[in-house]
Structures are given as structure tokens and as C-alpha cells.
Amino acid sequence: MIPVTKPYLPSREKLDAYIDGIYERNWLTNNGPLVQELTRRLEEYLGIENLLLVSNGTLALQIAYRTLGVTESVEGKAAEAITTPFTFVATASSLKWEGVEPVFVDIDSDSWNMDPRNIEAAITPQTRALVPVHVFGNPCEVEAIQAIADQHNLKVIYDAAHAFGVKYKGESVLKWGDAATLSFHATKVFHTIEGGAIIFKRREDLEKAKLLINFGISGPDRINELGINAKMNEFNAAMGLCVLDEMEGNLQSRAAVWRRYKKAFEKSLKVQTIPKELDYNYAYFSVLFESEEQTVNVSATLKEYGVVARRYFYPSLDSVDCLRVNAEYPVSTNISSRILCLPLFDHLSGAEQWNIINLIKTELEA
């Protein structure tokens, strides 16, 4: 079977050496030396400051909301945050979990990101933040979004789960917004098995978040505020350090797979439009088919031959009952019904990939 993705597994010898060190120190969590080392190395690798490691990407979002005051009610009513329906459910469910109402706006039909032209009409007195998503690592229109946020005095928290290492106009896309969050789940380009990070614009926000991820505790006998346990442990950090050591080879392999797909499909199927000024991380390759029926048929044919392609993101979140949305978002609904994310991982062989490409082309010609 060829899955849609496979976790990158680094050198076992190097991982074992890190684990030996953990056993020798007997320091498993609570900001251990490997967490500290990974923090420093990621800041250097990504070209950013104020990075905080956490235990997963969903908690990264929730801690960012609380740190930036997004969860505070407005005149006794629940706060609102404007986001996209074309994303993984955690973007919206994390807001709802924190008592913030997600308000969706439709997406751009080419980039598949939140369309800034739709934002202002959705702003109400309850709006505290914008939560855009760099879909599949493709940067949002960050300048336009920031201009709207500045005009309306709103916080911007980017869900950058897919955007590890992505640079826009020569700078890390993670520098935009009041905060950007990363997921280090095992399926991501860079992973720590489970984990995540928050990158803050301001140092004072980082310091507040450090308290929040450790129960609000500031000392052995002092609790400053309400917090939670969202710390990363030493074993996750060890995996992250090993994966980071091998990032360049991983990215080169993924780039080769991504480019083969693009060459094979760019003239026959619609693919995501990405800006020319982008240094990409080759996290995903998704294509749009002519109809939902064709999408389902292609997916079924691939599955017959042991290939898993995922309808990612499907369904559009405005159709999810627990999010209680009473509006329609035709672009998101249309794209989510016709999209397939194709297998992409570092050791997908050329022969396996050409088999996938040929199966899809045969189905399209049928």
C-alpha cells in the first residue's frame, strides 16, 4: 500500500544517542536541555525569534488565543474570530473549545487561502482576531490581512501548521501576525512525533505563554495565573533534533516528487497557485478534478491499486454541525468537493509515483 504520507524516520543511531543522554540525566520534561537545544536550533534554522515549543499544534493555537486576549468576552458576549472554512477542523474547533465563535469567510479560488476581500464584511463588535491559514504551506496575502487588522485593531494568529521553513520574499512567513503556530505531528515535513510551536512577534507575549503552558506556575511556590500543561518532553525534542539534522535531504527528495506531479498535471488539472517569491517546503500536492463524481472515482481507482489519496480538506467546515454555521461559502464548498491530496513523502520512488500518475490519467481519459 502507498499511503498519502509517511512519517520521516531519521537515523536510529543518532536518536539512540539522544535517548541515552535522557536516561543518564533522568530529566524527562519541564524544559529539559533537549527542548532548550531544539528551541535554539529552530529559531536559527527558521530565521525567527520568540519560539515556544508545545506538546501539539492544537494547543499551540489555544495558547496563542489566550496569550493574546482573544478568548476574553466582549460586553458579556462571546468573542469572535474570523477564519477559513477550508482547513483542518482544529483551526475552528480550537476557537470553539476556548469559547470563541469562529466566523468563516470564503476563500480565493486560486490560492485556496482566506480571501482578504471577504474579511471586512464579517467584522462585528465581537471580533477580536483574524485566524488565517497558510493552506498547504502557501502563504496568505499577509500584507492585505495585516492592513485590515491594523485598521480594526484586531490580533492576527496564523495557523501555519503546513508552513515550516516557508519563506516569502526572502523572509520566514512565520514572522507575520501577532503569532504563528506550527504543528510537529508525525505527518508533517518537520516533526517531533507529536508537538508544535508558537512564534510570537513580541517577547512579552512569549514570556506570558511560557507560564500558560506550565499551569501558570512562575516559581516553586508561586502561581501567577490560570494555565494548562502544554509542555514538550525530552523524547519528542530528541526526535525533532534528529529530523532537523536531516532536513535538507528530506526536502530535496520531497521537491523531486512534487515537481514530477506538477509537470504531469499542471496542463490537465488545476493546482494551487503559489506566488513566485516563495521558497516552498513541498509539504503537499493537491489537485482539483472537474467534478465531485470524478474525484470520488479517481480516489476509488487508486484505492483499488493500493494507493491512498485523501480528500483534504473535506468537508468544508461550514457544513460541520458542531460548528453551528448558518451561511454558505460556495468557493470553499466547491473546492473541497473536488480536491485530492496525492501521496507525497521523501522515499516515494519514481516508479511508484509514475504508477499513481498513470492511474489518474487513465481514469481521466475513461
Q: What are the cell numbers at 175?
A: 514572522
Q: How far apart (Å, rounded) are the C-alpha atoms in residues 89 and 68?
A: 21
* Nearest in space to 34 (alpha carbons), one of 9, 53, 49: 53
* Among 155, 167, 188, 201, the one annotated catalytic: 188
The reply to whether 188 belongs to the active site is: yes
Q: Which residues contact residue 303 at a Cβ distance below 8 angstroms, ignoring those fewer than 6 apart?
A: none
* Other residues' Cβ atoms within 10 Å of the Cβ of residue 288: 20
Q: Which residues contact residue 195 at a Cβ distance below 8 angstroms, ignoring those fewer than 6 apart?
A: 53, 54, 55, 56, 57, 183, 184, 185, 232, 236, 240
Cell numbers 485598521 correspond to 151
Q: Are 205 and 68 in contact (CB under 8 A)?
A: yes
Q: Are 121 and 148 in contact (CB under 8 A)?
A: no
Q: How far apart (Å, rounded) are the C-alpha atoms in residues 349 and 347?
A: 6
Q: Are 80 and 103 in contact (CB under 8 A)?
A: yes
Q: Which residues are catalytic?
A: 188
